[in-house]
């Protein structure tokens, strides 16, 4: 199985500041034949299902604000929230879909400082 | 518009079999490249993908739970059914079904989830 490791477990950021979440895979999730990284990011608020934010490591899903961005390649990835809003308080998960079993990171809780 | 909804028991006893149904609309499992996944989340913990079923009938299971899981589809009813045998209190979780993005195994639409508690 590909293990997805997120860091930090939690972070507190002031409104308007930048939040950075890291995700590392135990093996590459870059598929050489199409040069795509098989990584997605989700946001989950309390009592709600996860909401897709980013796929192919850096493509924003429909309706996702442009303050959310994804970067990275191979085994190391980052989700950045450029200017944190109160509505961004949530837990964020990365997921690899390079191969089954599909695996998620342990989550990063973002709080307002 | 794609929607999914999970249904089934909220309480099961240890050793019993859990059967959950995902009823969806806005897409068809008769369309090539379409899939539905089951994902669970124990209270306060991370997400775990249990099973996937695709329009071509292919199925994938979590290796650690494979012996206990079965997934099936009823294309005419727009439903996917997950069964999990020999339930244990550690299986207490919110169970979600989700629509797989075309030809890629991430999930762009999710049901609201159903909390299943395993307790005697």
- The CA distance from B35 to A42, in Å, is 18
Average the pLDDT over each of A32-36, B57-61, B100-104 and give the range with the smallest value. B100-104
> Which of A29, A101, A104, A107 is the best mutation test for B, with the most CBs of B within 10 A?
A101
> B11-12 and B114-118 as β-strands: parallel, antiparallel, unpaired?
parallel
Q: Can you tell me which residue has the tokens 């309390």?
A: A46
Residues of chain B contacting A1 with CB distance shorter than 8 Å: 63
The answer on pLDDT for B104 being more than 90 is no
Q: Region A45-68: what's the mean pLDDT?
A: 97
Q: Which pLDDT score is estimated for B103?
A: 81
Please report the pLDDT score of residue B46 as a whole number. Answer: 97
Give the span between the Cα atoms of A35 and A102, in whole angstroms. 19
Residue A106 is inside which H or E element, if any? none
Chain A residues in contact with B47 (beta carbon < 8 A): 42, 50, 93, 95, 104, 107
β-partners of residue A52 are: A42
CA B100 to chain centre: 12
Q: 3-class DSSP state for residue A86?
A: helix
Sign of the CA dihedral running A84, A86, A88, A89: positive
| Average pLDDT of the residues in A54-64 | 97
B40-53 average pLDDT score? 97
State the DSSP code for B91: G
Q: In whole angstroms, what is the distance from residue A35 CA to residue A24 CA?
A: 18
The residues, ordered by sequence, that sit 6+ positions from A81 with a Cβ below 8 Å of its Cβ are A13, A18, A19, A20, A67, A68, A88, A110
Given this model, what pLDDT does residue B92 score?
A: 98
CA distance A29 to A33: 12
B63 touches chain A (CB under 8 A): yes
Interatomic CA distance for residues B55 and B74, integer angstroms: 10
Q: For residue B83, what are the CA distances in angstroms to A7, A67, A87?
A: 34, 40, 36
For residue B63, give Cα distances in angstroms to A100, B7, B51, B112.
9, 24, 10, 25
């Amino acid at each position: 199985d590909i293990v997805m490791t997120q860091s930090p477990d939690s972070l507190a950021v002031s409104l308007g500041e930048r939040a950075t979440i890291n995700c590392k895979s135990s093996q590459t999730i870059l598929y050489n034949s199409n040069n795509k990284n098989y990584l997605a990011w989700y946001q989950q608020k309390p009592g709600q299902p996860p909401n897709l934010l980013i796929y192919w490591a850096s493509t924003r899903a429909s309706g996702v604000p442009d303050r959310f961005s994804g970067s990275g390649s191979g085994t190391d990835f980052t989700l950045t929230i450029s200017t944190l809003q109160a509505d961004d308080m949530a837990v964020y998960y990365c997921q690899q879909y390079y191969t089954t079993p599909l695996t998620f990171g342990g989550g990063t809780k973002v709080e307002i400082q | 518009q794609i929607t999914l909804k999970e249904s089934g028991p909220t309480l099961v006893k240890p050793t019993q079999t859990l059967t959950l149904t995902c009823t969806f609309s806005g897409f068809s499992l008769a369309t090539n490249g379409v899939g539905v996944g089951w994902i669970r989340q124990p209270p306060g913990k991370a997400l775990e993908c249990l099973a996937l079923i695709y329009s071509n009938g292919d199925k994938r299971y979590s290796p650690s739970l494979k012996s206990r899981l079965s997934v099936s589809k009823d294309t005419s009813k727009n439903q996917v059914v997950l069964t999990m045998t020999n339930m244990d209190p550690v299986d207490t979780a919110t169970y979600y079904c989700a629509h797989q993005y075309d030809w890629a195994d991430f999930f762009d639409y999710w049901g609201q989830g159903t909390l299943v508690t395993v307790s005697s």
